[in-house]
Amino acid sequence: MVFVRESGLSVPVELRRRKGTRNFRLTFGLNNQILFSVPLRCADRIAIDFLESQREWIEAGLDKLPATSSLRTWINRYPQLCASGELFYVSIQATKGKSSDYIFSNYGSDVILRVLDLSDDGQLMHVVRCFAKDALYCRVAYQAKRFGLSIPAVSVRNQESRWGSCSCRGAISLNWRLVLLDPELMDYVILHELAHLKQLNHSNKFWKQLEKYDPLYKTHESAINQISSKIMRVAR
């Protein structure tokens, strides 16, 4: 199913039939597609008619969405990656080695992403994910030691919309896109998840714990909320 805009542009519609759902629900996905939840046995004609009745709302919402971006486009526009509480200037180069990788250069102030094929976005993604895994593992260990915490198990993933999470077993999962943030915002997410090792909830005790780790957490939370919709659309 597609939604044809007044401009003539077609926007994909993901029709989601939900058991137990009685109402229609429209939202937008991170690929700037329309997410349309309908009752399980809703006829297609009825769904299409409702979609058309919401044209004005949909057009206005699509106009406000940040643009999606490939990882290559993002790096070319913002040539920096975060690690160790710093921003490193990034460049992409071809390598004659056996595999794609990354190295530090210019006395450790720059990062070179080396890929076998400069046109292969998959190789670029692989290298950045490797960089993110190394950077986030090290930063979690550093912050845990700062506050006398045991270093938790860490996984780096491609979450749909979350920056991080902490399981009931104390394992932390982080979004690789954290390396696209400024250092203080990466640290905020890590400290947020470390605070969950003490309080696995969002009670007042949790926020007090987080404040001990990050006295400016309210400022950082506000800042990351403002840019999340933009950065979460990178490399979808």
Residue 27 has pLDDT above 90, yes or no: yes
Q: What are the DSSP E strand ranges found in 116-236?
A: 154-157, 164-166, 172-175
Using CA atoms in the order 24, 27, 33, 34, what is the torsion angle rounded to 10 degrees?
A: 20
Residue 104 has pLDDT above 90, yes or no: yes
pLDDT band at 19 (very low <50, low <70, confident <90, very high): confident
* pLDDT tens column, 33-81: 999 999 998 999 999 999 999 999 999 999 999 999 999 999 999 999 9
Provide the mean pLDDT of the chain.
Answer: 96
Residue 21 has pLDDT above 90, yes or no: no
Residue 88 has pLDDT above 90, yes or no: yes
Measure Cα distances from 218 to 8, 120, 201, 212, 221 in Å.
42, 40, 17, 12, 5
* pLDDT tens column, 130-148: 999 999 999 999 999 999 9
Residues 131, 94, 68, CA angle at the centre, nearest 5°? 60
Mean pLDDT of 8-14: 95
> What tokens appear for 211 in the block?
């404040």
Query: Which residue ranges form the domains of the chain, and what is each CATH number?
Result: 2-64 (no CATH), 71-231 (3.30.2010.10)
Q: How far apart are CA 42 and CA 48, in angstroms?
A: 10
